[in-house]
A and B are shown apart, each in its own frame.
Chain A
């Protein structure tokens, strides 16, 4: 049981590194774009939210794996 908890912790911990970097890059680029062209913030919002959701899906997969490890295995 202890190893399952360790595995779940590692899964979510390592699994959020990539999406974290990805969301950071996306957000910084969005801010850059708004800084260059403040009127574009309205049109940037929806594509930004979509990209955020697609990037974040990876972290959600890690969360699901973690939940499976804790609750469904053993």
Chain B
């Protein structure tokens, strides 16, 4: 939890600092801050369809937040500052660090996943209306398939929530365990390789969380638009919506 608060504070500080002295020709620090935002905005624009600007902020915010939280958890030394707690059954004392990787806690990732879930459901309702959204959710395309497909559809909607949170949690938690195991096996030099690997994973998982949020929002918006107009994401949307009833894809 402290890790997540630290990440929030860091991002806010950077935002305020850059906003204060923003210049048209960016300096070093401002360029560093603008780099991920511009890059991700480009990605969202190229894959997010016509209304990309509405949810680009959410996607970028999720990416930066998860990225900074992951990086804070990887800082060397943060894991050794903490309080010692007696074991539950009078066992050995264990050290509970103040700052640990925020995403190694299911509460953090589940909270983020709930935000993403609410976001894409809300965008779906806003784009298609409540009736349109419920019709899309509850009634299958050939109407006689409804009893078979509707439960699958509902499960796949809900499994998005679970898989979003579990993916981030599992990756970061497994990374922490991996680092601990490697540290206890070979304490010198070898953990550096795995630390580098965890840096890549932290970046990739932050990107995955943000991009999946974007994809779900795009799908929710585009579901009914396909036959209205042949805009640029119409070619991509049918692939996804055909794939989405399968429970494993979420």
Q: Interface on A for B, CB 8 Å cutoff? A: 43, 46, 49-50, 52-54, 56-61, 63-64
Contact = CB atoms under 8 A, between A and B. Distances in A.
Given A46-B47, A49-B207, A60 B248 contact: no
Contacts, number: 40
Most buried by B among A46, A53, A60: A53
Interface of B: 43, 46-47, 163, 166-167, 170-171, 174, 204, 207-208, 211-212, 215, 248-250
Contacts of B46: 43
B204 A60 contact: no
A50 B47 CA distance: 12
B174 A63 contact: yes
Contacts of A60: 163, 166-167, 170-171
B167 A50 contact: no
Q: Is the interface of B mostly helix, strand, loop or mixed?
A: helix
B208 A53 contact: yes
B211 A46 contact: yes
Contacts of A46: 43, 47, 211
B211 A50 contact: yes
A56 B47 contact: no
Given A54-B249, A58-B248, A60-B163, A49 B170 contact: no
B204 A57 contact: no
A57 B113 CA distance: 15
Contacts of B248: 54, 57-58
B122 to A, nearest CB: 22
Nearest to A54: B249
Contacts of A63: 170, 174
B211 A64 contact: no
Contacts of B211: 46, 49-50, 53
Given A61-B166, A64-B166, A50 B43 contact: no
Q: Which 8 A-B pairs have the closest CB atoms?
A: A60-B170, A53-B208, A63-B170, A57-B163, A60-B167, A60-B166, A64-B166, A46-B43
13 contacts: A43-B46, A46-B43, A49-B204, A50-B212, A52-B204, A53-B208, A53-B212, A56-B167, A57-B163, A57-B166, A57-B248, A60-B166, A63-B174
